[in-house]
Amino acid sequence: MKLKICLFFALLSLNFYKSQSLNYKLIEKINNTEYIYYDTVLIDGYGFKKLEKEKIIDDGVAYSFKYFSSSTISNRLQISILKDKTLTKPMIIINFGGNISIENFKTELLVNGYEFNGEKKLSNISFFVYEANNKIIAISKNANEYGVRQIMYIPKQ
């Protein structure tokens, strides 16, 4: 009987371990960090691994930074940060797997002054759109064929 109880709690804790959640503070942290400190914040602070830093424009004014949290797609948070000198704040794209919960994230958006502005289609993909103070956050409604969904943080210029 004790073995069954221990096994039950072990399986329960494993399920909690596999199910991660995304929080709004991560986006705010990235948004308020200078691009030269992205590695410090995401690697040292959150435990992400760096995928790449790519110069998009030859004169060096636009960069794409990519980080990921897990090699398993269902547990992965992949963050792409697009920054150039014309943007006052970076554009942030987060791809996330099916084991990542975003229910608390949606609630945090509302608590932090975002308003839900309905569902919009972009290139045949439906997004739930939230807006606040010159910022837009769009969350894909459905996963793609690989089980991945997307969140886009778009600063209004």
What pTM does this model have?
Answer: 0.78
* C-alpha to C-alpha distance for 102 and 98, rounded to whole angstroms: 10
Find tokens 């914040």 and name the residue: 41
Check whether 4 has a pLDDT greater than 80: no
Q: What is the pLDDT of residues 101-116, one digit of tens each?
A: 888 899 999 999 999 9
Cβ-proximal residues to 29 (8 Å cutoff; 6+ apart), any chain: 41, 45
Report whether 119 contacts 128 (CB < 8 A).
yes
Q: Are 20 and 102 in contact (CB under 8 A)?
A: no
C-alpha span between 130 and 47 (Å, rounded)? 28
The pLDDT tens digits of the residues spanning 53-80 come to: 766 655 545 667 778 787 787 888 888 8
| Under 8 Å between Cβ of 101 and 19 | yes
Q: How far is CA 43 from CA 48, 61, 105, 116, 121, in A?
A: 5, 23, 21, 31, 33
